[in-house]
């Protein structure tokens, strides 16, 4: 049987949009030694496809990093299968806060050199010596007591939501942010530092790295923003997270609080809805309000709007030989949108090609 899905993604998206199957979006990660990632990958693909799972999963010798959509009818059987793996028994599962069942449209499992692109040489420090894991209640206490709170996510994630008083570095990638935060915290090795990210995986590496760098009181939010939101709701705690939680799937975000702290990148109106430019050749990730979506036909500029109305064969011809973005994100850079192109976003000023 084929161990890859070769159907055009536009067809797959239409199929999932019309599929009545109820699904649950979940993410998890685990650092453990994988002897043969390629064989493990093929096994998981075969078995998880049989469960009807969709998602994006990264495997490496160091472990697994997964974001998935599982049919509700197969949820219990899938969890039983997952926990039967001795390496994944009782691995914490982070279930989405908001979920429409259409977070993924295909199953993609990739083998990489690392499950997280951190740019670190793990042989130079102990990546298992992580910081103290804080519950939602302990996170709130740390914020109230004046701890240094660091958002370990990229700028486009923190732009739509972050914890009260958190430092939100203007970083394109996690590997870039590690160095930025190290410089920002210079001379503060004796202060209490609390890190957070979406589901916890980035903080596992970051907290170990900063302990290695001599920081004495390093903490991380257990389960990340996703688990925090669940604990706040379950235990009726004060919610100190403002706005949305950006997620790397078709939803592009889940609301944690009612506040809208971001603005449309085209007109400046209050908005925190991320979208991808409808021009496949561009596919820019940016924030767009409903009014601008109507004006620009879901594109980032008049130039892209013109492209999507060209005959399909001409659009395909334009894309020939061009490097499309694939697993990278073509991302709007905040702070670089003063100039406009045809009333839309200035590409020369705003677009960076970065990896997730």
Do 115 and 29 touch, CB atoms closer than 8 A?
Answer: yes
DSSP-assigned beta bridge partners for residue 23: 71
Secondary structure (3-state) at 121: coil
Please enumerate in sequence order all residues whose Cβ is within 8 A of that of 134, keeping only pairs 6 or more positions apart, or say none.
Answer: 142, 194, 219, 220, 221, 222
Token pair, residue 324, equals 């499309």
State the Cα–Cα distance between residues 237 and 140, nearest whole angstrom.
Answer: 9
**Quick one: angle between helices 75-84 and 37-51, nearest 10?**
160
What distance lies between CA 316 and its chain's CA centroid? 29
Instruction: For residue 277, indicate whether it is catalytic.
Output: no
The catalytic position among 53, 197, 203, 300 is: 197
Token pair, residue 21, equals 């199957």
Do 127 and 178 touch, CB atoms closer than 8 A?
Answer: no
Do 267 and 287 touch, CB atoms closer than 8 A?
Answer: no
State the Cα–Cα distance between residues 90 and 84, nearest whole angstrom.
Answer: 9
Token pair, residue 205, equals 């590496």
Catalytic residue positions? 197
């Amino acid at each position: 049987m084929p161990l890859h899905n070769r159907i055009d993604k536009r067809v797959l998206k239409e199929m999932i949009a019309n599929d009545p199957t109820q699904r649950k979006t979940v993410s998890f990660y685990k650092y453990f030694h994988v002897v043969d990632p390629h064989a493990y990958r093929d096994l998981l693909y075969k078995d998880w496809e049989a469960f009807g799972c969709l998602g994006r999963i990264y495997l490496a010798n160091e472990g697994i990093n997964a974001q998935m959509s599982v049919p509700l009818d197969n949820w219990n059987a899938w969890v039983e299968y997952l926990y039967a793996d001795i390496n994944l028994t009782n691995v914490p599962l982070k279930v989405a806060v908001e979920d429409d069942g259409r977070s993924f449209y295909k199953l993609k499992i990739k083998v990489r050199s690392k499950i997280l692109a951190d740019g670190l040489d793990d042989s130079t420090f102990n990546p298992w010596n992580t910081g103290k894991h804080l519950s939602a209640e302990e996170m709130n206490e740390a914020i109230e007591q004046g701890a240094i709170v660091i958002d370990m996510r990229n700028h486009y994630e923190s732009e739509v939501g972050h914890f009260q008083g958190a430092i939100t570095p203007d970083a394109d990638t996690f590997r870039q942010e590690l160095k930025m935060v190290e410089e920002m915290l210079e001379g503060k090795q004796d202060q209490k530092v609390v890190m957070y990210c979406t589901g916890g995986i980035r903080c596992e590496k970051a907290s170990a790295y900063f302990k290695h760098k001599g920081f004495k009181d390093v903490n991380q939010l257990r389960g990340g923003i996703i688990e925090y939101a669940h604990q706040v709701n379950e235990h009726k705690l004060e919610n100190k997270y403002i706005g949305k939680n950006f997620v790397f799937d078709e939803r592009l975000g889940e609301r944690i609080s009612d506040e809208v702290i971001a603005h449309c990148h085209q007109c400046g109106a209050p908005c925190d809805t991320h979208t991808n430019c409808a021009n496949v050749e561009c596919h820019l990730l940016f924030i767009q309000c409903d009014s601008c979506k109507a004006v620009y036909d879901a594109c980032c500029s008049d130039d892209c709007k013109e492209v999507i109305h060209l005959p399909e064969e001409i659009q395909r011809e334009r894309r020939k030989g061009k490097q499309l973005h694939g697993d990278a994100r073509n991302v709007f850079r905040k702070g670089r949108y003063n100039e406009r192109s045809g009333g839309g976003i200035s590409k020369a000023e705003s677009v960076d090609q970065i990896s997730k």
